[in-house]
Structure 1
Amino acid sequence: MNIQDERKEAKDIAKELLLFLGGKENIVKITHCTTRLRFELHDESQVNKNAIDEMNCVHGTFFRLGLFQIILGSGIVNKVYRAILDTNPATVSSILKPEPPKVRMNPFVQFARTLSNIFVPIIPAIVASGLLMGLIGMIKVFQWAPPESSIMIMLEIFSSAAFIILPILIGFSAAKEFGGNQILGAVIGGILTHPSLLNPSMLGYKVPESMEVLGVAIPLIGYQGTVIPILLSVFFMSKLELGLRKVIPTSLDLFLIPFLVIICIGFVSILVIGPISLFIGEMMTSTFELVYKSGGVIAGFLFGSLYSLIVVTGLHHTLHAVEMLLLSNPEIGVNFLLPIWSMANIAQGAAGLAVFFKTKDKRIKKIALPSAFSAFLGIIEPVIFGVNIKLFKPFIGAAIGGAFGGGYVVLTHVVANSYGLTGIPMIAIVAPLGIANLMHYLIGLGISVITAFFATWILWVKEETE
């Protein structure tokens, strides 16, 4: 299929979706992720959910967090998103309808959704860094280039850049989510990573300089690679900025607001938020490390079996913040949670594969095979919502596979050097940490796939009508 045919197909899908969504006038806002379209609607009762579920391109639909979400799969979702945008639904809906009532969410769900919105846009940068680290590891193992060569120097720079400027990336993304100026959010991140502040990774080799404030010596330590300091700083920055806009005349806001925001939040970040945040981050990572080490195989078994439930709730992106804390902690420096999540994800794909061979339903077969391979590559929403959770028993089979795989990778201490990749692509961020690490990861994948496949096969004795 050529590009023009793909565009025509996307336009046809968009046209049909708009019809079943109650028309473009019913759409308040549309966003998308790797596999899903997310719609904020004026009236959810106008949605013909059954008709959308019957569309060949749709792998599943559900309402969550005040949004109607449609799973299309990677690749096509971007094209359909752009096709819907071409109809300009937001402009039409804003004229014809009043602002819809706010959807009430409990504080925990709201917090999880906020973290997800902040960290998901940053994933490509972190994944690229992890892959580059994998490439560097392969070059060193096979001695393709000397360590002091120009190519190795450049690759080292490329691979570490995202982690060095991580607070800047988070500052930009968080400011958008909190309603503040994104450029000012990035500037706050720049303050926390300024060259005058000692990179915390150098604390074992250098003693930081200090400055005296009100008789108290404040060490000049930076926050490169950290998460909590910039999140809190940008949160308060956004609140201050929004408050100032209410009292400062429009003719002066361009000059006064950035000046006051940077000077106030800069002082607070360096003197108060930064030190407190480091303590909070250390407590969080220490807690996870304690559970990981003391729970051992049992912890891996439970995490591996329950992770898919977290994905179903949509809260799994919240864990990116924890994984980033693990990576940025100089005493840990690795991600020991991601291998467990990977076992759960690959198990969902294996369960979907079992469904493909077991079912006689042609429509389910058509969805099961591509969505199973998508799960092997780390994209699991199509197989979860399009196949496994609908049929239930495959979802249970996948949970069993994830449990056994998770227990094994914890037992053998498999770790990763990044986050955001699971399944087969995760090999690239596991391999740099040693051949043994890679081999145990591959064995864990095998355990998850085999266990989930046969558990699903055994549980699904007879195909039942949905």
Structure 2
Amino acid sequence: MEIESVGTTHATEAKPTASHNSMPYSEEANGIVAALGGEDNIRAATHCVTRLRFALADESKINQDALDNMHLVKGSFSANGQFQVVIGQGTVDKVYAAMIAETGISEATKDDVKAVTAKKQNPLQRGIKVLADIFIPILPAIVTAGLLMGINNVLANPGIFYEKQSFIDVHQNWAGLADMINIIANTAFTFLPALIGWSAVKRFGGNPLLGVVLGLILVHPDLLNAWAYGDALEKGEIPTWNLFGLEIDKIGYQGQVLPVLFASWILAKLEIFLKKHVMDALQLLIVAPVALLVTGFLTFIIIGPLTFTIGNWITDGLVAVFDHYAVLGGLIYGAIYGPLVITGMHHTFLAVDLQLIGSTGSTFLWPILALSNIAQGSAAVAIMFATRNEKLKGLSLTSWISAWLGITEPAMFGVNLRFKYPFVAAIIGSAIAGAWITMQHVKASSVGVGGVPGILSIVPGGWTAFLTGMAIVIIVPFAITLLLSLRRKQDL
């Protein structure tokens, strides 16, 4: 998840004299810091929605046993140059606040942490980190929109409550409510470039408000809607601008990801350049207008058409692969999604899902993600039945619930990877279910809550196949994990 607050250690600072019990979780925060080798070993610290993230000077100083024996800690691991301690949603904010208040770790900027961890990352990891930094902040809006669209789908699609009619066809008094839900839900997807523009320009160091404006420019109502581009192309009715003899297509980029990503980078870098070279007294009159005007021209003339074509190539390529090799594609993606989460590369597929939805109206990848989350929870809850360790029982239970509601970190890092075979069992179940639902052409109309609530985002015609997939990821990982646990009782 997006880094929300950051800290860095300054060894020369005077340590706080506050009591360890002056605020909630102060004792636990001090214990975590001690287990990580003390304040002097922490070069920078931050947190996301579920995890504390540390840039450590020497990871060999970590007391892993001490971390594992803390009731608050649900797991820990090292990835992308950071040592991460899984705490859980909500609680992690309080633990981090206590750590800042009760230790010598002080507030710092996001760039401080990135500067430390970037030294340990290769170019691929840094690229993935950039995408994560852009898409994770807008994820709540996208997931909320997906969940609401799922509710609207239940009300507006035929074949759910009645064989050939929708719920609102039979109960007309609900039509207004469904339409209002649909508008609220569709807004995030309709203005997706504005959300991406805000987050991307902010990530690249520019003014995020200019990013919002850039995104809104790309979906201006005077432009040809991107979803109508195909029909207009066939009819030869694409509107154009005539720029001194140069014909430029007058089209919007609704639902598109790549155009606004590249344009945001140009906008941010141009704004930074202008701020350095324009005197302070004239910046308000020159920097933003020139940056937006130049970026806008470049986007409509070069960036937009080029990235729109590339995006369509990516979409067409994925669709072709899954059309011709559905079982293999679903099997592979179902198998690799769990390992992708460990590396952080799963963030790149959010952009792919959004691109598929923007180009085709649905995605066949996201349903596999939802089932993978359920599989991780099923493997974790099997450990609860197999172990006699009370702490592990409690951790397995809460991790199972969390995973089935879309947050897999506690299950994956706190239980499954700790024993390894539950993680493998989850991968096996996810791969089988992925192959099954892809063969049945199950698709999601939006990105929603990954887990059991994910069914609301599934196109209703695929509900039966998706429910079968859910049964697979519930039974297979649970059964494999439980059988292996009973044979390896000494590990529990």
TM-score, normalization: structure 1?
Answer: 0.89
Which residue, out of 113, 135, 147, partners 2:129?
113
Which residue, out of 225, 228, 251, partners 1:221?
251
Which residue, out of 417, 433, 438, partners 1:389?
417
Aligned to 1:437: 462
Q: Alignment partner of 2:450: what SS?
A: coil
**Distance (whole Å) between structure 2 residues aligned to residue 152 and residue 364 of structure 1:** 44
Aligned to 1:62: 77
**Distance (whole Å) between structure 2 residues aligned to residue 145 and residue 40 of structure 1:** 57
Aligned to 2:280: 250
**Which is further off, 83-92 or 165-174?**
83-92
Which residue, out of 166, 189, 199, partners 1:163?
189
Pair 1:25–1:167, CA change in 2 (3 A): farther
Pair 1:28–1:145, CA change in 2 (3 A): farther
Aligned to 2:433: 405
Aligned to 1:180: 206
User: 1:84: how far off?
Assistant: 3.7
Pair 1:43–1:462, CA change in 2 (3 A): closer
**Which is further off, 274-283 or 381-390?**
381-390
Aligned to 1:3: none
Contact 1:198 1:220 in 2 (8 A): yes
Question: 2:104 aligned with 1:74, yes or no?
Answer: no
User: 1:402: how far off?
Assistant: 0.9
**Distance (whole Å) between structure 2 residues aligned to residue 129 and residue 101 of structure 1:** 33
- Cα deviation per residue 1:393-436 (whole Å; 9 max; x = unaligned)? 11111111111111111111111111242211102212xx22x4
Q: Alignment partner of 1:203: what SS?
A: helix
Pair 1:264–1:369, CA change in 2 (3 A): same
Aligned to 2:229: 203
Pair 1:454–1:100, CA change in 2 (3 A): closer
**Distance (whole Å) between structure 2 residues aligned to residue 259 and residue 214 of structure 1:** 22
Aligned residues: 453
**Distance (whole Å) between structure 2 residues aligned to residue 180 and residue 48 of structure 1:** 41
Aligned to 2:220: 194
**Which is further off, 167-176 or 34-43?**
34-43
Contact 1:24 1:92 in 2 (8 A): no
Aligned to 2:326: 296
Aligned residue identity for 1:327? I
Aligned to 2:160: none
Q: Cα RMSD between the aligned structures?
A: 2.7
Which residue, out of 458, 464, 475, partners 1:450?
475
Aligned residue identity for 1:377? L
**Distance (whole Å) between structure 1 residues aligned to residue 49 and residue 404 of structure 2:** 15
**Distance (whole Å) between structure 2 residues aligned to residue 196 and residue 172 of structure 1:** 22
Q: Alignment partner of 1:70: what SS?
A: strand
After superposition, where does 1:79-98 map in structure 2 within 5 Å? 79-86=94-101, 89-91=105-107
**Distance (whole Å) between structure 1 residues aligned to residue 203 and residue 39 of structure 2:** 25
Pair 1:239–1:451, CA change in 2 (3 A): same
Aligned to 1:339: 367
Aligned to 2:15: none
User: 1:280: how far off?
Assistant: 0.7
Question: 2:345 aligned with 1:319, yes or no?
Answer: no
User: 1:293: how far off?
Assistant: 1.5
TM-score, normalization: structure 2?
Answer: 0.85
User: 1:298: how far off?
Assistant: 1.9
User: 1:26: how far off?
Assistant: 5.9
Pair 1:186–1:26, CA change in 2 (3 A): farther
User: 1:228: how far off?
Assistant: 0.4
Q: Alignment partner of 2:242: what SS?
A: strand
User: 1:465: how far off?
Assistant: 4.1
**Distance (whole Å) between structure 2 residues aligned to residue 150 and residue 402 of structure 1:** 39
After superposition, where does 1:229-378 map in structure 2 within 5 Å? 229-329=259-359, 332-378=360-406
Contact 1:198 1:221 in 2 (8 A): yes
Contact 1:350 1:453 in 2 (8 A): yes
Pair 1:441–1:42, CA change in 2 (3 A): same
Contact 1:146 1:152 in 2 (8 A): no
Aligned to 2:242: 212
**Distance (whole Å) between structure 1 residues aligned to residue 364 and residue 293 of structure 2:** 38
Unaligned runs of 5+ in 2: 1-20, 157-165
Which residue, out of 51, 62, 76, partners 2:66?
51
User: 1:102: how far off?
Assistant: 4.9
Aligned to 2:5: none
User: 1:214: how far off?
Assistant: 4.1
Aligned to 1:34: 49
Contact 2:144 2:448 in 1 (8 A): no
Pair 1:375–1:153, CA change in 2 (3 A): closer
User: 1:121: how far off?
Assistant: 1.2
**Distance (whole Å) between structure 1 residues aligned to residue 317 and residue 60 of structure 2:** 44
Q: Alignment partner of 2:247: what SS?
A: strand
Contact 2:194 2:211 in 1 (8 A): yes
Contact 2:24 2:98 in 1 (8 A): no
User: 1:154: how far off?
Assistant: 2.4
Aligned residue identity for 1:452? P
**Which is further off, 384-393 or 450-459?**
450-459
**Distance (whole Å) between structure 2 residues aligned to residue 415 and residue 93 of structure 1:** 40
Pair 1:344–1:135, CA change in 2 (3 A): closer
